[in-house]
Structures are given as C-alpha cells and as structure tokens.
C-alpha cells in the first residue's frame, strides 16, 4: 500500500455520517451500491520536511469523476518533479508571497517594491484566501468592480491587474496552472496622457532663466535635452562613463528612489538602454566645464567611479523627486508651460525629427528596444518625412517622363518594317 501512496492515489468518499455524527468517508456502504454516490479525491503522501518530523498528506477532493481526480494528481506530481509547489490547497496569498520571493533576485528594486505594494495592499486582502487552482475570471471581475466602486482610478487598477497577470503568467509557464485567468484584462490598458512639448523658443527661454538662477541645474536640464537620456540615467551618470576625448558617454546605471526614500543604482530600463550616446558641442562644453570644477574640488576621499556628474554640494546624488519639484518651480518662474522632466526626452526626439534626422538614428540615440517603439511614440512627427519621400518619388518619375518625351519628339522616326504579307511574297 505504501508503494502506491508514494506516487499518489485516488479514491471515492462522501460526507455521510453515522449515528454519532462522525463522517463515514470511504467506509460509507452506499459507495459500493451506488456508483454515483460521493465524489473523488486525490491524495499524495509527502516526506517530512525536517528530521524527525511526520509525513504529511496533500489532498484535493470534490472531483465528479475518477478521471478528473487523476488529472489533478498528475498535475501535482508533474509540478513537484520540476520543483514547483503544486499543492492544490495553496492559496493565492501563499503563491503570491512565494512568487515575490523568487522575483526579488530578478527584478529592479523599484519594480519589485511596486509589485510588493500591490500584492500586500490590494491583491492579498481581496483574493488571498482563494485557492490558486480555483481562481477564476469572475473573481477578477468582482475585484475590479469593488476597486472602482471604492474610488480607485482605472490606471491604478490596471497596474494592479498587470502585477497579478505577471504572477499568474509565471504559473502558466511553469505548468502550475493551465491558463492565465487575468487575460483578457477586465480594464483596458490606460491611454498615454497628452504630452506638453516645449517649442524651441520656450526651451531657450527656460534655459536662459535657469542659467541665471541655478546654473548647475541648468547644466542638468540642457544635458537631458541634448542627449535624450532618462532622468534616472542622467542622475546616475559617473565621470568614469564620460569620455570627453571621443565625445561620448556610456549609460550603465539609473538612479532610483525605493519607497521614494532610499536611493539606489540599478541597471537601465532595457538591455539596449546600456549603450553609448554621442555628445554635441554644447553638451561637450558643459561637461568639460563641470569636469574642470570636479577636478578642482576633488579629494582623496572621492567616491568610486569618479563621482556623480550631477550631484549635491556634498557630492551625494540628487534625489529624483527634488529634481522634478525644482524643475516645476523654475518652469513656473520662467513662464513656460508645465511639463515633466521625462518629456524633455520627447523634446529631444521632437527637435531631431523635425530637423530631418532619420527615425533609425533617433531610435538609436534614444536607445529604444526596437525602431517600432520610436515609430509608435513619434509617428506623427514622421509625416513630413513621409510626404518628402512620396514627393521625391513623384519628382523622379516626372523628370524621367520629361526626358522621355523630349527624346521621342527630337529623334528622327524609326524606319518602318515591311508587312508580313510582303515578306512572304518576296520570299516566295
């Protein structure tokens, strides 16, 4: 019997009780006389997890047929063979906590903290007690309705569902679950908000005001516009990654705030984000000036990596939230429209595209994962270039058509060939 128990077993039982109100379970007489009586259960005996401990049994019941019970048993055993906890009694809360632990070594710290907050503050309180195997689309639907009724915004609810979908998607890829019940999502992906992009005149107006009131901060803003770097990438830039001789910088780090408090250096957003960026003469001059100041103020206790290019007076990095707030403050003073620091990256792309720079070059400068990403964001700016392309095709055809017409009107007529009938007559 133990040999069968080690690989699992299925059996039929019911909820009938005897005169002392004790459940009969597998000993109910009706199980023998009535094949439709009771339900099927699968069970697996697992070894003790600690020396001297007792074995434990994982059971899952309520299956209408023996085949359903054996399928559940097979899924559980298959999961254990590849190291997955396929306990049918595992709750959504248990799985999400286990998933978070595994993800901590793979995700950026800021991403992991966002997932952690959604899991502990939103998902576990609402869906945690449900068995993972029993989580259904209806649970997700009611969760969304409850969140919206409580006043949560649709973008926030969408991000919570995206976190859950990522977790359930991993369970599907690991053959822990057959399908991802979070897909299709109940709430559609929120549309991107309308961006406010400065004109060149507004940009110069802000920079002039900024240079007068806060020259160091003006260097940072012009650097962001002139390179298209993300805010965190610029704040995490070290002097060791600045190569003034070759007029390039290399993006290796991004500075992030964990829980809006602890500053940490993490890898850039994507693999292609870790790449070199060329420097214009304006940006090269700014960095050269800052490098001279840095050498003057350097000391033997300087931080490794040459220190931060943009920093506070004591050499520590600028806090991302301070940069955003100070940027809005100076923009208000300068009398230019309110925009975000990240929109300076869009400003850089806009200035390049409207000046006729090819989309592939702009995509490389921004270090997008694919050129389609650039096209999706800035497709509206490529319309003039598209018109230039079709106009160039038409102009080329027009020139060839005029050349052809000129050739046919000035050339002498070609000799006419003899009719076929005359040819045959002469041949005869």
Three-state secondary-structure class, residue 257: strand
Kindly report the length of the chain. Answer: 428
The per-residue pLDDT for 2 is 37
Those residues of the chain that have pLDDT short of 50 are 1-5, 300-301, 303-304, 420-428
Match 């399928």 to its residue by tokens: 71
Q: What is the H or E stretch that residue 46 is in? A: strand 39-46
Cβ–Cβ < 8 Å for 272, 369: yes
Match 């160039």 to its residue by tokens: 392
The per-residue pLDDT for 387 is 66
pTM over 0.85: no
Among candidates 76, 68, 10, which has minimal Cα distance to 42? 10
What does the pLDDT look like over 141-171, one tens digit per residue? 999 999 999 999 999 999 999 999 999 999 9
The per-residue pLDDT for 234 is 96
The per-residue pLDDT for 423 is 45
The per-residue pLDDT for 417 is 52
The per-residue pLDDT for 426 is 42
Alpha helices in 82-214 (DSSP H): 92-103, 109-118, 124-127, 137-149, 154-173, 200-213
Domains and CATH numbers, the chain: 2-81 (no CATH), 92-173 (1.10.150.130), 200-381 (1.10.443.10)
The per-residue pLDDT for 228 is 92
The per-residue pLDDT for 270 is 81
Among candidates 373, 340, 349, 366, which has minimal Cα distance to 194? 340
């Amino acid at each position: 019997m133990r040999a069968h128990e080690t690989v699992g077993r299925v059996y039929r039982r019911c909820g009938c009780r005897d005169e002392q109100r004790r459940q009969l379970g597998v000993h109910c007489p009706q199980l023998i006389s009535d094949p439709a009586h009771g339900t099927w259960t699968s069970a697996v005996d697992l070894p003790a997890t600690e020396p001297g401990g007792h074995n434990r049994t994982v059971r899952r019941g309520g299956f209408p047929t023996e085949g359903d019970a054996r399928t559940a048993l097979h899924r559980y055993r298959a999961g254990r063979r590849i190291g997955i906890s396929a306990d049918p009694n595992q709750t959504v809360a248990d799985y999400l906590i286990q998933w978070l632990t595994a993800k901590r070594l793979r995700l950026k710290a800021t991403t992991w903290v966002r997932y952690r907050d959604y899991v502990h503050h939103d998902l576990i309180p609402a869906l945690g007690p449900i068995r993972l195997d029993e989580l259904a689309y209806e649970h997700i639907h009611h969760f969304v309705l409850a969140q919206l009724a409580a006043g949560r915004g649709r973008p926030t609810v969408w991000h919570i569902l995206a976190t859950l979908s990522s977790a359930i998607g991993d369970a599907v890829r690991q053959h822990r679950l057959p399908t991802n019940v979070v897909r299709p999502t109940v709430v559609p992906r929120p549309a991107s908000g309308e961006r406010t992009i400065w004109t060149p005149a507004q940009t110069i107006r802000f920079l002039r005001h900024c240079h007068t009131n806060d020259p160091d901060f003006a260097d940072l803003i012009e650097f962001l516009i002139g390179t298209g770097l993300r805010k965190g990438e610029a704040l995490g830039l070290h002097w060791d990654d600045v190569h003034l001789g070759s007029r390039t910088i290399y993006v290796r780090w991004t500075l992030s705030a964990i829980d809006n408090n602890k500053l940490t250096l993490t890898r850039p957003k994507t693999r292609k984000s870790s790449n070199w960026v060329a420097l214009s003469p304006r940006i090269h001059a700014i960095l050269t000036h800052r490098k001279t100041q840095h050498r003057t103020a350097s000391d033997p206790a300087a931080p490794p990596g040459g220190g931060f290019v943009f920093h506070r007076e004591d050499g520590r990095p600028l806090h991302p939230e301070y940069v955003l707030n100070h940027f809005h403050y100076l923009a208000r003073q300068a009398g230019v429209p309110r925009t975000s620091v990240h929109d300076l990256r869009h400003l850089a792309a806009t200035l390049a595209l409207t000046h006729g720079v090819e989309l592939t070059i702009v995509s490389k400068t921004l270090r997008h994962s694919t050129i389609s990403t650039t096209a999706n964001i800035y497709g509206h700016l490529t319309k003039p270039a598209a018109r230039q392309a079709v106009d160039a095709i038409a102009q080329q055809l027009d020139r060839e058509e005029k050349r052809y017409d000129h050739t046919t009107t000035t050339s002498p007529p070609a000799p006419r060939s003899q009719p076929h009938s005359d040819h045959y007559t002469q041949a005869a």
